[in-house]
Amino acid sequence: MKRILSLAILFFIFSPIHANNKIEHVIYITLDGIRWQDVYQTQHYFPRLWSEHAKQLTFYGLPDSHTIMETTSEPHALPSYQAQMAGSLQPCHNNKCGHIQVKTLPEFLVDQLHFAKKDVAIFSSMPEISEVIETNLGTTFSNIGNRSMLDPVNHQADNIMAILNHEQRMNHPVNDAHRYDKYTFAQALHYFEKYQPKFLWISLTNADDEAHLGNHTRYHQLLNYYDDALHGLFLSLKTMKLDKNTMVIVTTDHGRGNNENWTSHGSNLPESRQIFAFVMNGKLEPANIEDGVEYYNTLSIRPAIEKVFY
Protein backbone atom coordinates (compact mmCIF):
# COMPACT_ATOMS: atom_id res chain seq x y z
CA MET A 1 0.00 0.00 0.00
CA LYS A 2 2.81 2.43 0.87
CA ARG A 3 4.47 1.72 -2.48
CA ILE A 4 1.24 2.40 -4.36
CA LEU A 5 0.70 5.61 -2.39
CA SER A 6 4.26 6.77 -3.13
CA LEU A 7 3.83 6.09 -6.82
CA ALA A 8 0.53 7.98 -6.83
CA ILE A 9 2.15 11.00 -5.20
CA LEU A 10 5.01 10.97 -7.70
CA PHE A 11 2.55 10.71 -10.57
CA PHE A 12 0.59 13.67 -9.22
CA ILE A 13 3.70 15.80 -8.85
CA PHE A 14 5.18 15.10 -12.27
CA SER A 15 2.02 14.68 -14.31
CA PRO A 16 1.70 17.30 -17.09
CA ILE A 17 -1.90 17.86 -16.05
CA HIS A 18 -0.71 19.33 -12.76
CA ALA A 19 2.39 21.04 -14.11
CA ASN A 20 2.52 24.67 -13.08
CA ASN A 21 4.39 25.94 -16.10
CA LYS A 22 1.94 25.45 -18.96
CA ILE A 23 2.09 28.60 -21.06
CA GLU A 24 -1.38 30.12 -21.30
CA HIS A 25 -0.56 33.71 -22.27
CA VAL A 26 1.84 35.41 -24.68
CA ILE A 27 2.83 39.06 -24.29
CA TYR A 28 4.65 40.38 -27.34
CA ILE A 29 6.43 43.72 -26.92
CA THR A 30 8.09 45.64 -29.73
CA LEU A 31 10.31 48.63 -29.00
CA ASP A 32 10.37 50.42 -32.33
CA GLY A 33 13.81 51.38 -33.67
CA ILE A 34 15.84 50.44 -30.58
CA ARG A 35 19.45 49.61 -31.40
CA TRP A 36 20.77 46.26 -30.23
CA GLN A 37 23.86 48.11 -29.01
CA ASP A 38 21.77 50.13 -26.53
CA VAL A 39 20.34 46.94 -25.04
CA TYR A 40 23.39 44.67 -25.11
CA GLN A 41 26.62 46.67 -25.10
CA THR A 42 25.87 48.64 -21.97
CA GLN A 43 23.65 47.97 -18.98
CA HIS A 44 23.26 51.68 -18.38
CA TYR A 45 19.90 52.05 -20.16
CA PHE A 46 18.28 48.80 -18.98
CA PRO A 47 19.72 48.38 -15.48
CA ARG A 48 16.77 46.51 -13.94
CA LEU A 49 16.51 44.18 -16.89
CA TRP A 50 20.10 43.06 -16.38
CA SER A 51 20.25 43.11 -12.59
CA GLU A 52 16.85 41.61 -11.75
CA HIS A 53 15.44 39.73 -14.73
CA ALA A 54 18.23 38.58 -17.07
CA LYS A 55 18.53 35.16 -15.40
CA GLN A 56 15.03 34.21 -16.50
CA LEU A 57 15.49 35.38 -20.09
CA THR A 58 16.92 33.84 -23.25
CA PHE A 59 18.75 36.41 -25.41
CA TYR A 60 19.13 36.43 -29.19
CA GLY A 61 21.75 38.48 -31.01
CA LEU A 62 23.77 38.95 -27.84
CA PRO A 63 27.47 39.36 -28.68
CA ASP A 64 29.50 36.16 -28.16
CA SER A 65 26.31 34.11 -27.71
CA HIS A 66 26.63 32.24 -31.04
CA THR A 67 23.25 33.66 -32.08
CA ILE A 68 22.41 36.18 -34.79
CA MET A 69 19.14 38.14 -34.84
CA GLU A 70 18.15 40.15 -37.91
CA THR A 71 15.22 41.52 -39.89
CA THR A 72 14.17 39.59 -42.98
CA SER A 73 12.43 42.56 -44.59
CA GLU A 74 13.55 46.04 -45.45
CA PRO A 75 14.58 47.59 -42.11
CA HIS A 76 11.51 49.80 -41.85
CA ALA A 77 8.50 49.52 -39.54
CA LEU A 78 5.65 48.29 -41.75
CA PRO A 79 7.70 45.81 -43.81
CA SER A 80 9.07 44.32 -40.59
CA TYR A 81 5.78 44.20 -38.71
CA GLN A 82 3.95 42.74 -41.70
CA ALA A 83 6.55 39.97 -41.91
CA GLN A 84 6.28 39.34 -38.17
CA MET A 85 2.49 39.06 -38.20
CA ALA A 86 2.32 37.14 -41.51
CA GLY A 87 5.16 34.78 -40.68
CA SER A 88 6.53 35.32 -44.17
CA LEU A 89 8.16 38.08 -46.17
CA GLN A 90 5.57 40.42 -47.68
CA PRO A 91 5.64 42.67 -50.78
CA CYS A 92 6.09 45.68 -48.53
CA HIS A 93 9.24 47.79 -48.83
CA ASN A 94 8.42 51.03 -47.03
CA ASN A 95 5.96 52.56 -44.60
CA LYS A 96 3.50 53.40 -47.37
CA CYS A 97 2.92 49.89 -48.69
CA GLY A 98 -0.70 49.76 -47.57
CA HIS A 99 -2.75 47.15 -45.77
CA ILE A 100 -1.45 43.63 -45.24
CA GLN A 101 -2.95 41.18 -47.74
CA VAL A 102 -2.57 37.84 -45.95
CA LYS A 103 -4.07 36.41 -42.79
CA THR A 104 -2.11 37.46 -39.74
CA LEU A 105 -1.15 35.80 -36.48
CA PRO A 106 -3.92 37.61 -34.51
CA GLU A 107 -6.48 36.52 -37.10
CA PHE A 108 -5.21 32.94 -36.95
CA LEU A 109 -5.74 32.90 -33.19
CA VAL A 110 -9.34 34.09 -33.57
CA ASP A 111 -10.38 32.31 -36.76
CA GLN A 112 -8.54 29.01 -36.45
CA LEU A 113 -8.08 28.55 -32.71
CA HIS A 114 -11.38 30.25 -31.88
CA PHE A 115 -10.04 32.63 -29.26
CA ALA A 116 -12.51 35.27 -28.14
CA LYS A 117 -11.99 38.71 -29.67
CA LYS A 118 -11.04 40.25 -26.33
CA ASP A 119 -8.44 37.48 -25.83
CA VAL A 120 -6.40 38.76 -28.80
CA ALA A 121 -5.48 42.37 -28.07
CA ILE A 122 -3.16 44.88 -29.70
CA PHE A 123 -2.09 48.20 -28.18
CA SER A 124 0.12 50.54 -30.17
CA SER A 125 1.32 54.13 -30.07
CA MET A 126 1.62 54.16 -33.86
CA PRO A 127 -1.62 54.37 -35.90
CA GLU A 128 -0.05 52.55 -38.87
CA ILE A 129 -0.09 49.30 -36.88
CA SER A 130 -3.76 49.05 -37.90
CA GLU A 131 -2.44 48.15 -41.39
CA VAL A 132 -0.54 45.18 -39.98
CA ILE A 133 -2.75 43.33 -37.51
CA GLU A 134 -5.60 41.99 -39.67
CA THR A 135 -7.08 41.80 -43.14
CA ASN A 136 -10.65 41.68 -41.83
CA LEU A 137 -11.04 44.82 -39.72
CA GLY A 138 -12.49 44.23 -36.28
CA THR A 139 -11.42 40.61 -35.95
CA THR A 140 -9.32 41.42 -32.86
CA PHE A 141 -9.51 43.98 -30.09
CA SER A 142 -7.20 46.92 -30.63
CA ASN A 143 -6.46 50.32 -29.16
CA ILE A 144 -4.11 52.09 -31.54
CA GLY A 145 -2.73 55.60 -31.87
CA ASN A 146 -4.01 58.68 -30.09
CA ARG A 147 -7.41 57.22 -29.25
CA SER A 148 -9.31 56.87 -26.01
CA MET A 149 -9.57 53.44 -24.46
CA LEU A 150 -12.97 51.78 -23.97
CA ASP A 151 -13.79 48.47 -22.34
CA PRO A 152 -14.44 45.78 -25.00
CA VAL A 153 -17.41 44.36 -23.09
CA ASN A 154 -19.55 47.40 -22.24
CA HIS A 155 -17.84 49.94 -24.52
CA GLN A 156 -17.36 52.29 -21.59
CA ALA A 157 -14.14 53.42 -19.91
CA ASP A 158 -13.66 52.02 -16.42
CA ASN A 159 -12.12 54.24 -13.74
CA ILE A 160 -8.49 53.52 -14.66
CA MET A 161 -9.13 53.79 -18.39
CA ALA A 162 -10.92 57.09 -17.84
CA ILE A 163 -8.06 58.55 -15.81
CA LEU A 164 -5.52 57.56 -18.44
CA ASN A 165 -7.76 58.87 -21.23
CA HIS A 166 -8.04 62.22 -19.46
CA GLU A 167 -4.29 62.49 -18.87
CA GLN A 168 -3.66 61.58 -22.49
CA ARG A 169 -6.00 64.33 -23.71
CA MET A 170 -4.46 66.91 -21.38
CA ASN A 171 -0.81 66.10 -22.12
CA HIS A 172 -0.82 65.12 -25.77
CA PRO A 173 -0.60 67.36 -28.86
CA VAL A 174 -4.09 67.51 -30.34
CA ASN A 175 -3.04 67.02 -33.97
CA ASP A 176 -0.58 64.16 -33.37
CA ALA A 177 -2.03 60.80 -34.40
CA HIS A 178 0.69 59.01 -32.43
CA ARG A 179 0.24 58.37 -28.72
CA TYR A 180 2.79 58.67 -25.95
CA ASP A 181 4.16 55.24 -25.06
CA LYS A 182 3.49 55.69 -21.36
CA TYR A 183 -0.27 55.76 -22.03
CA THR A 184 -0.12 52.87 -24.48
CA PHE A 185 1.74 50.72 -21.98
CA ALA A 186 -0.41 51.73 -19.00
CA GLN A 187 -3.62 50.93 -20.86
CA ALA A 188 -2.21 47.62 -22.09
CA LEU A 189 -1.02 46.53 -18.66
CA HIS A 190 -4.36 47.44 -17.09
CA TYR A 191 -6.13 45.47 -19.83
CA PHE A 192 -3.95 42.42 -19.17
CA GLU A 193 -4.57 42.62 -15.43
CA LYS A 194 -8.33 42.93 -16.00
CA TYR A 195 -8.93 40.42 -18.81
CA GLN A 196 -5.79 38.27 -18.94
CA PRO A 197 -5.91 37.89 -22.76
CA LYS A 198 -4.22 34.91 -24.34
CA PHE A 199 -2.24 37.13 -26.75
CA LEU A 200 -1.28 40.75 -26.12
CA TRP A 201 0.90 42.81 -28.45
CA ILE A 202 2.24 46.07 -27.02
CA SER A 203 3.85 48.23 -29.72
CA LEU A 204 5.90 51.14 -28.33
CA THR A 205 7.28 53.59 -30.87
CA ASN A 206 8.32 56.92 -29.35
CA ALA A 207 12.07 56.17 -29.18
CA ASP A 208 12.25 55.75 -32.96
CA ASP A 209 10.63 59.18 -33.40
CA GLU A 210 13.21 60.81 -31.12
CA ALA A 211 16.08 59.01 -32.83
CA HIS A 212 15.00 60.34 -36.22
CA LEU A 213 15.07 63.82 -34.71
CA GLY A 214 18.61 63.20 -33.43
CA ASN A 215 17.46 63.79 -29.86
CA HIS A 216 19.98 61.71 -27.89
CA THR A 217 18.70 62.84 -24.50
CA ARG A 218 15.06 62.01 -25.12
CA TYR A 219 15.93 58.74 -26.85
CA HIS A 220 17.97 57.60 -23.86
CA GLN A 221 15.25 58.71 -21.44
CA LEU A 222 12.82 56.48 -23.30
CA LEU A 223 15.20 53.53 -23.01
CA ASN A 224 15.16 54.00 -19.25
CA TYR A 225 11.38 54.24 -19.33
CA TYR A 226 11.16 50.95 -21.27
CA ASP A 227 13.34 49.35 -18.60
CA ASP A 228 10.93 50.57 -15.91
CA ALA A 229 7.94 49.37 -17.95
CA LEU A 230 9.38 45.88 -18.42
CA HIS A 231 10.25 45.73 -14.73
CA GLY A 232 6.67 46.67 -13.87
CA LEU A 233 5.32 44.00 -16.20
CA PHE A 234 7.48 41.27 -14.69
CA LEU A 235 6.41 42.30 -11.19
CA SER A 236 2.75 42.33 -12.21
CA LEU A 237 3.02 38.84 -13.66
CA LYS A 238 4.56 37.63 -10.41
CA THR A 239 1.85 39.31 -8.32
CA MET A 240 -0.82 37.73 -10.53
CA LYS A 241 0.96 34.36 -10.21
CA LEU A 242 1.25 34.21 -13.99
CA ASP A 243 5.03 34.56 -14.20
CA LYS A 244 5.41 30.83 -14.92
CA ASN A 245 2.46 30.67 -17.30
CA THR A 246 3.21 33.64 -19.54
CA MET A 247 5.63 33.79 -22.44
CA VAL A 248 7.09 37.27 -22.93
CA ILE A 249 8.88 38.18 -26.16
CA VAL A 250 10.62 41.54 -26.51
CA THR A 251 12.16 42.68 -29.78
CA THR A 252 12.08 45.50 -32.32
CA ASP A 253 11.26 46.14 -35.97
CA HIS A 254 14.72 47.24 -37.12
CA GLY A 255 18.05 48.54 -35.91
CA ARG A 256 19.77 51.79 -36.78
CA GLY A 257 22.84 52.99 -38.60
CA ASN A 258 26.22 53.17 -36.90
CA ASN A 259 27.95 56.28 -35.58
CA GLU A 260 26.64 59.46 -37.25
CA ASN A 261 24.03 57.38 -39.11
CA TRP A 262 22.33 56.33 -35.87
CA THR A 263 19.32 58.55 -36.67
CA SER A 264 18.46 56.51 -39.77
CA HIS A 265 17.75 53.00 -40.99
CA GLY A 266 17.05 51.39 -44.34
CA SER A 267 18.50 49.23 -47.11
CA ASN A 268 21.34 51.73 -47.58
CA LEU A 269 22.41 50.98 -43.99
CA PRO A 270 22.79 47.18 -43.84
CA GLU A 271 23.83 47.35 -40.19
CA SER A 272 20.28 48.45 -39.39
CA ARG A 273 19.14 44.89 -40.15
CA GLN A 274 20.80 43.64 -36.97
CA ILE A 275 18.38 43.58 -34.04
CA PHE A 276 17.87 42.01 -30.62
CA ALA A 277 15.27 39.79 -28.98
CA PHE A 278 14.82 38.20 -25.59
CA VAL A 279 12.23 35.74 -24.33
CA MET A 280 10.88 34.61 -20.98
CA ASN A 281 9.40 31.10 -20.73
CA GLY A 282 10.09 30.05 -24.28
CA LYS A 283 12.39 30.00 -27.27
CA LEU A 284 12.34 31.37 -30.78
CA GLU A 285 12.56 29.10 -33.80
CA PRO A 286 15.97 29.29 -35.56
CA ALA A 287 15.90 29.93 -39.29
CA ASN A 288 19.23 28.17 -39.77
CA ILE A 289 22.12 26.66 -37.82
CA GLU A 290 25.54 26.76 -39.42
CA ASP A 291 28.99 26.09 -37.93
CA GLY A 292 27.62 26.30 -34.40
CA VAL A 293 25.90 29.65 -34.99
CA GLU A 294 22.11 29.88 -34.68
CA TYR A 295 20.48 32.35 -37.07
CA TYR A 296 17.21 33.95 -36.01
CA ASN A 297 15.16 36.63 -37.66
CA THR A 298 11.77 38.31 -37.58
CA LEU A 299 10.21 35.20 -39.13
CA SER A 300 11.24 33.22 -36.04
CA ILE A 301 8.57 34.90 -33.94
CA ARG A 302 5.20 33.74 -35.25
CA PRO A 303 6.09 30.00 -35.18
CA ALA A 304 7.23 30.31 -31.57
CA ILE A 305 3.92 31.91 -30.57
CA GLU A 306 1.77 29.48 -32.54
CA LYS A 307 3.61 26.56 -30.97
CA VAL A 308 2.47 27.73 -27.53
CA PHE A 309 -1.20 27.49 -28.46
CA TYR A 310 -1.26 24.33 -30.59
Tell whether 34 is covered by a domain: no
Q: Please give the C-alpha separations between residue 217 and each of 179, 192, 221, 305, 307, in angstroms, as whole numbers.
A: 19, 31, 6, 35, 40
Residue 187 and residue 164 in contact, taking contact as beta carbons nearer than 8 Å:
yes
Distance CA 188, CA 165 (A): 13
Partner residues linked to 4 by β-bridges:
none
Tell whether 302 is covered by a domain: yes
Tell whether 25 is covered by a domain: no
Number of compact structural domains in the chain: 1
Please say whether the dihedral angle defined by the alpha carbons of residues 239, 224, 200 and 68, taken in this order, is positive or negative. Answer: negative
Quick: pLDDT tens for 216-274. Answer: 999 999 999 999 999 999 999 999 999 999 999 999 999 999 999 999 999 999 999 99
CATH of the domain at 274: 3.40.720.10
Tell whether 36 is covered by a domain: no
CA 45 to chain centre: 18
Question: Where in the sequence is the domain holding 139, given as residue range(s)?
Answer: 41-309
Distance CA 204, CA 33 (A): 10
The C-alpha angle 178, 211, 229, rounded to 5 degrees, equals 65
Tell whether 26 is covered by a domain: no
Tell whether 19 is covered by a domain: no
| 174 — pLDDT class (breaks 50, 70, 90) | confident
| Predicted model pTM | 0.93
Quick: pLDDT tens for 264-309. Answer: 999 999 999 999 999 999 999 899 999 999 999 999 999 999 999 9
